[in-house]
């Protein structure tokens, strides 16, 4: 098993945190894992992404160019990563914000109105996790239970209201 | 749940130092290592130890010098421009023969450069860096676990040789998260007999780096050189990966080495016999071991995130026994495994080097 995931969105949408949950879940399942954020002279509202690798092999480069799975939370992320998903891979699109359509036929594209669904659940901030759930629904390289466990262990105590 | 925990490199540096008995930390914020300060500012006061945010890197390194003279385990960390500012103090510490640890989480340079990962401070860290004849034992971790292990080891080696010890990391190791197993919390060590602890009831200790009398300073230099010879004899560390049957040896350290590892695995799948030689100490450099490798491979490929600084040590080690190519990325660009794979394929196809300058 070797999965290379990029999660990308505006700063504040929780791309980095969703990636961390995935990484914790992979670790709990005994895999080799790495997580690396984009970092630079960042600003609020700018684009942020992270790369997560979950593998049965020790991880060499934590940075990859073409993900096997990708979650895009906003339009700039769609533009950047839609062409880069590896053939046979998965692209999960936050269709609440992304109006573009993918023309690719060599990957599985799943459109999820994540902001709307998150709003219905009662907290628009969990759109990132709605999308993570969608990815793991179609490509279950870690168990959903492991992510839920990671969520319970790693959400800071002052912010317990994630569901 | 595994016993391993997920930690960001910078936080791992801080926690490892704390567990190794670091009693005083001084620093000044600079990306991409600021999380070390952030973590220390929270944890050190909890433990009743010293965290002090200095007004500059010059101040931080001189506070480090002072704490080291007082016989406590002390550390600072910084990134490239801050590391340059520390050179004077580092030279003083080296001459004064007191143990201390400095972690440099390198970023793109020269100048203020940028905040992306780079390995362009290699020469500064391994060849002296400040004024005068000194060198600094420098550990080059390639994973977050190794970062944890090396920070602990750095304190022990600093004590062993009464010298300053460096850990050479970069923005990628500082920012990324990987599973780590942390060591147990160690007892704080008591100040050694040479330390400045108050001379009441004993002969006074003097620690200085000022010797106006030339023969006296020559003697100090000879003592220092003797220490460096011992370090060169006893502390060389390196690792090899798939090198036994290799036709091509990649030489890389730190972040570049782990990226090379991915490229090597892919090249092996394509039937190319390529392996890795990874210096773990970059001073002392594993000249002898690499020279032996040069005798049994057809070509070497040096990969660095610099214009080719370690390349010079590889040339010294291999004495022109084997053609050497160089692949380097500068200015904060991290090479992708695909880049290195392309370079490996170019070698097997007898093509000239793809990027950067020519080899030996």
Interchain CB distance below 8 Å, A35 and B2? no
Q: What is the C-alpha separation between A22 and A132, in angstroms, rounded?
A: 8
DSSP H helical ranges for chain B? 9-19, 34-46, 57-69, 80-85, 87-96, 122-126, 144-161, 171-175, 214-234, 254-269, 287-294, 310-318, 337-348
Distance from CA of B21 to the nearest CA of A (A): 28
CB nearest to A62's CB, from B115, B176, B338: B176
Q: What is the C-alpha separation between B115 and A8, in angstroms, rounded?
A: 20
Interchain CB distance below 8 Å, B258 and A61? yes
Alpha carbon distances (Å) from B152 to A42, A158, B156: 32, 33, 7
Pick A2-154's CATH classification: 3.40.640.10, 3.40.50.970, 3.30.70.380, 3.40.920.10.
Answer: 3.40.920.10
- Dihedral of the alpha carbons of B229, B231, B235, B241, in degrees to the nearest 10: -60
Distance from CA of A88 to the nearest CA of B (A): 19
Interchain CB distance below 8 Å, A36 and B176? yes
B5-187+206-234 and B239-348 agree in CATH topology: yes
pLDDT in tens, A51-60: 999 999 999 9
Residue B338: what pLDDT?
95
Q: Does A128 touch chain B (CB under 8 A)?
A: no
Q: What is the C-alpha separation between A8 and A73, in angstroms, rounded?
A: 6
Burial class (CB in 10 A: 0-12, 13-18, 19+), A122: exposed
CA angle A1, A48, B37 (to 5 degrees): 95
Interchain CB distance below 8 Å, A57 and B258? no
Alpha carbon distances (Å) from B269 to B32, B169, B262, B326, B341: 35, 30, 11, 23, 11
In which band, very low, low, confident or very high, does the pLDDT at A157 lie, cut at 50, 70 and 90?
A: low
| ipTM higher than threshold 0.90 | yes
Per-residue pLDDT for B245 more than 50?
A: yes
Task: Tell me the average pLDDT of chain B.
Answer: 96
The predicted model gives B163-190 an average pLDDT of: 97
Per-residue pLDDT for B236 more than 60?
A: yes
Computed on alpha carbons and rounded to an integer, the radius of gyration of chain B in Å comes to: 21
Helix axes A114-121, A127-138, angle to 10 degrees: 110
pLDDT in tens, B219-233: 999 999 999 999 999
| Tokens 């909890």 -> residue | B46
**Counting one residue from A and one from B, how many pairs have CB atoms under 8 Å apart?**
69
The predicted model gives B198-223 an average pLDDT of: 97
Closest CA to A86 of A63, A59, A104: A104
Per-residue pLDDT for B358 more than 50?
A: no
Q: What are phi and psi of B350, to 5 degrees?
A: 70, 20
Interchain CB distance below 8 Å, A39 and B115? yes
pLDDT in tens, B84-110: 999 999 999 999 999 999 999 999 999
CA angle A141, A2, B278 (to 5 degrees): 145
Interchain CB distance below 8 Å, A37 and B175? yes
Residue A158: what pLDDT?
56
Helices (H) and strands (E) in chain A, counts: 5, 6
Per-residue pLDDT for A70 more than 80?
A: yes
B interface with A, Cβ–Cβ below 8 Å = 1-2, 4, 6, 31-32, 114-116, 171-172, 175-179, 258-263, 265, 334, 336-338
Q: What is the C-alpha separation between B185 and A98, in angstroms, rounded?
A: 49
The residue ranges of every structural domain in chain A are 2-154
Residue B3: what pLDDT?
76
CATH code at B5-187+206-234: 3.40.50.970
pLDDT in tens, B11-26: 999 999 999 999 999 9
Q: Does A156 touch chain B (CB under 8 A)?
A: no
The predicted model gives B42-63 an average pLDDT of: 98
CA angle B328, B334, B337 (to 5 degrees): 85
Per-residue pLDDT for B273 more than 60?
A: yes
Interchain CB distance below 8 Å, A59 and B175? no
In which band, very low, low, confident or very high, does the pLDDT at B360 lie, cut at 50, 70 and 90?
A: very low
The predicted model gives B34-50 an average pLDDT of: 98
Question: pLDDT exceeding 90 applies to what percent of chain B?
Answer: 96
The predicted model gives B271-289 an average pLDDT of: 98
The residue ranges of every structural domain in chain B are 5-187+206-234, 239-348
Per-residue pLDDT for A41 more than 80?
A: no
Q: What is the C-alpha separation between B121 and B308, in angstroms, rounded?
A: 11
Per-residue pLDDT for A14 more than 80?
A: yes
CB nearest to B334's CB, from A28, A30, A63: A63
Q: What is the C-alpha separation between B166 and B73, in angstroms, rounded?
A: 14
Instruction: Give the nearest chain B residue to A19 (CA atoms).
Output: B177
Residue B356: what pLDDT?
47
Closest CA to B170 of B98, B55, B259, B94: B259
Q: What are phi and psi of B282, to 5 degrees?
A: -100, -20
Per-residue pLDDT for B241 more than 60?
A: yes
Non-local (6+) Cβ contacts of A105 within 8 A are: none
Write down the architecture of domain B239-348 according to CATH.
3-Layer(aba) Sandwich (3.40)
| Chain B residues with beta carbon closer than 8 angstroms to that of A65 | 336, 338
Residue A162: what pLDDT?
47
Instruction: Say how many Å lie between the first and final Cα of chain B, rounded.
Output: 50
Non-local (6+) Cβ contacts of B145 within 8 A are: B178, B179, B180, B181
């Amino acid at each position: 098993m070797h999965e290379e995931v990029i999660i990308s969105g505006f700063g504040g949408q929780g791309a980095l945190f969703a990636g961390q949950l995935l990484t914790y879940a992979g670790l709990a399942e005994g895999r080799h894992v790495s997580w690396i954020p984009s970092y630079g002279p960042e600003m609020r509202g700018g684009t942020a992404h992270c790369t997560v690798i979950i593998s049965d092999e020790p991880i060499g480069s934590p940075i990859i160019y073409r993900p096997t799975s990708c979650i895009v939370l906003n339009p700039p992320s769609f533009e950047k990563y839609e062409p880069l998903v590896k053939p046979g891979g998965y692209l999960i699109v936050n269709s609440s914000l992304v109006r573009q359509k993918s023309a690719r036929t060599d990957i599985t594209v799943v459109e999820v109105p994540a902001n709307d669904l998150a709003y219905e659940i009662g907290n628009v901030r969990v759109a990132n996790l709605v999308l993570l759930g969608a990815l793991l629904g179609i490509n279950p390289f870690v168990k959903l239970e492991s992510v839920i466990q990671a969520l319970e262990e790693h959400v800071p105590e002052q912010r317990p209201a994630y569901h | 749940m595994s016993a391993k925990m997920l930690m960001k490199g910078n936080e791992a540096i801080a926690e490892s130092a704390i567990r190794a008995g670091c009693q005083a930390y001084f620093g000044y914020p600079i990306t991409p290592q600021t999380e070390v300060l952030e973590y220390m500012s929270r944890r050190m006061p909890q433990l009743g130890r010293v965290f002090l945010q200095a007004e500059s890197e010059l101040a931080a390194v001189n506070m480090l010098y002072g704490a080291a003279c007082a016989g406590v385990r002390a550390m600072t960390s910084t990134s490239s421009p801050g590391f340059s500012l520390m050179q004077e103090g580092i030279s003083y510490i080296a001459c004064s023969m007191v143990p201390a640890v400095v972690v440099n989480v390198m970023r793109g340079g020269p100048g203020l450069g940028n905040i992306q990962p780079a390995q362009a401070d290699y020469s500064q860290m391994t060849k002296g860096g400040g004024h005068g004849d000194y060198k600094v034992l420098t550990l080059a971790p390639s994973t977050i676990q190794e970062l944890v292990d090396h920070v602990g080891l750095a304190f022990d080696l600093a004590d062993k040789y009464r010298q300053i010890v460096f850990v050479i990391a970069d923005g990628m190791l500082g920012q990324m998260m990987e599973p780590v197993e942390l060591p147990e919390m160690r007892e704080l060590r008591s100040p050694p007999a040479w330390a400045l602890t108050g001379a009441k009831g004993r002969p006074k200790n003097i620690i200085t780096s000022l010797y106006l009398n030339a023969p006296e300073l020559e003697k100090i230099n000879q003592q220092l050189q003797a220490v460096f010879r011992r370090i060169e004899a006893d502390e060389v560390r390196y690792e090899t990966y798939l090198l036994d049957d290799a036709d091509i040896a990649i030489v890389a350290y730190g972040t570049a080495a782990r990226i090379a590892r991915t490229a090597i695995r892919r090249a092996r799948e394509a039937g190319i016999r390529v392996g890795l030689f990874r210096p773990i100490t970059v001073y002392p450099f594993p000249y002898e071991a690499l020279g032996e490798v040069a005798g049994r491979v057809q070509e070497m490929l040096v990969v660095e995130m610099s214009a080719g600084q370690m390349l010079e040590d590889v040339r010294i080690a291999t004495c022109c026994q084997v053609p050497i190519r160089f692949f380097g990325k500068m200015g904060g660009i991290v090479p992708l495994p695909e880049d290195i794979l392309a370079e490996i394929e170019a070698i097997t196809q007898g093509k000239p080097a793809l990027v950067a300058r020519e080899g030996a």
